[in-house]
Amino acid sequence: MFLPKPKEVLLMGPGPSPVSRDVLSAIGQHTLGHLDADFLDIMNETSSLLRYVFETENEITFPVSGTGSAGMEAAMVNLLEPGDEVIIAVCGVFGQRMVDVASRCGAKVNVVEADWGQPIDPQRVARAVTDNPCSKMIGIVHAETSTGVLQDLKPIKELIEGKDMLLLVDAVTSLGGIPVEVDKLGLDIVYSGNQKCLGAPPGLAPITFNDKALDAVQKRKSKVQSWYLDLTFLTRYWGEERFYHHTAPINMIYGLYEALAEIREEGLVARFTRHSLHSKALVAGLEALGVRPVVDEKDRLASLTAVWIPDGVDDVAVRSGLRRDHLIEIGGGLGPFKGKVWRIGIMGHGARRENVERLVNALAVTLKSLQYSCSLNEAEAAVNSVYKNYAGQ
């Protein structure tokens, strides 16, 4: 092989997350043709596994070729026409990205904002809905990876119950780690990304559309601006017709299939519990080191914990020390959180006890080497007590 062998870095940042050996081996299997009958079976099963993970019966459920942003773009370009009004909730980078993509589609965007580290207040969205009754959709991020906030979708959906308005949800950092419950909540369009809680490498963006969303797409007056992401073409390939549109990323689909099958084998409830448990243990260990979470417990994401960098501690020195000396990657802050916050992922295959313990240990050692005073024993005890309490339940 010519490829320089990548080191086994433990990925505990905002994504990509660790990938299991079986998923990596699935990607390395023999490449089939994109219209080969065996591959078509794999496609069908991938859609069906995605329905299980999205908790939906939606027929139109498949992975878009491209990363999570391609899912965002696919949702918007198919739905929006120039001049459409939309409401977008913004409390971090990915809400802002939604605004950018919607305005590139020519939509008139009304933004509802919250401070970084806070969820969106449904009352403010309610006001936007009242003030802009012709809005075609509300766009919102379920798990804001730039801040570690989990958004409760139920009150947002209730605002548009019975209205001719759609709810578009970014579930990139929640799907497969935190309940998304597409059908139960009545979410109209939801997209995600391979590389977070689903446990596959970046490259595909699972997406699902319900009938109300498809109806809105069918009622468009103008052509979808993007040829590549036009839902009509994509569903003709993913549906029975098997119409050639673009060559599917075959081996990435193998990987997603395997990752989804692992989720089905584990079971969604067990998987959600696993994410929540290891995230609690992580937070306990970090707090014992004096590293405080940014987000209040009630709004905190299990899959991504944002923490304040302690006063006087150098952001880059810690992150590069973790990578160099301990082969662990964590993420830095974005936008207003740059240099102030670390982002630590507990996602998919990475959400396990040995990783929590390894990170807490490595962080304590790294912080001490930078003259920050903390106790590894206390941190270990805090982590252990979370696991002990859980085992005793």
Ligand X SMILES: Cc1ncc(COP(=O)(O)O)c(C=O)c1O
Q: What angle do CA 356, 190, 93 make, to 5 degrees?
A: 60
Which position among 17, 56, 145, 366 is part of the footprint of ligand X (CB under 6 A)? 145
286-315 burial, b if ≥16 CB within 10 A, otherwise e? bebbbbebbbeeebbbbbbbbbbbbeebee
- Nearer residue to ligand X within complex by CB, 59 or 181: 181
- The set of residues, in sequence order, having a beta carbon less than 8 Å from that of 234 and lying 6+ positions away, is 62, 64, 74, 245
The DSSP element (H or E) to which 366 belongs, if any, is helix 353-369
- Nearer residue to ligand X within complex by CB, 51 or 343: 343
CA-closest candidate to residue 213, choices 253, 166, 176, 180: 166
The reply to whether 15 sits near ligand X by the rule CB under 6 A is yes
The reply to whether 17 sits near ligand X by the rule CB under 6 A is no
Query: Would you say 336 and 91 are in contact if contact means Cβ atoms under 8 Å apart?
Result: no
Query: Would you say 155 and 124 are in contact if contact means Cβ atoms under 8 Å apart?
Result: no
Site for ligand X in 177-216 (CB under 6 A): 193, 202
Which position among 91, 167, 172, 301 is part of the footprint of ligand X (CB under 6 A)? 172
Please provide the DSSP assignment of 156-177 as one string.
HHHHTTTSS-EEEEE-TTTTTT
Residue 94 CB, nearest approach to ligand X (Å): 4
CA-closest candidate to residue 60, choices 237, 298, 225: 237
Which of the ranges 152-160, 170-178, 286-294, 361-369 carries the binding residues for ligand X, by CB under 6 A? Answer: 170-178
- The set of residues, in sequence order, having a beta carbon less than 8 Å from that of 33 and lying 6+ positions away, is 39
- Nearer residue to ligand X within complex by CB, 89 or 141: 141
Site for ligand X in 62-121 (CB under 6 A): 67-69, 72, 94
Nearest residue to ligand X, by Cβ distance, number only: 68
The reply to whether 372 sits near ligand X by the rule CB under 6 A is no
- Nearer residue to ligand X within complex by CB, 173 or 305: 173
- Nearer residue to ligand X within complex by CB, 190 or 288: 190
Number of residues counted as binding ligand X (CB under 6 A): 14
Which position among 50, 114, 137, 170 is part of the footprint of ligand X (CB under 6 A)? 170
DSSP state of 293: B
The reply to whether 141 sits near ligand X by the rule CB under 6 A is yes
Per CB under 6 A, residues contacting ligand X are: 14-15, 67-69, 72, 94, 141, 145, 170, 172-173, 193, 202
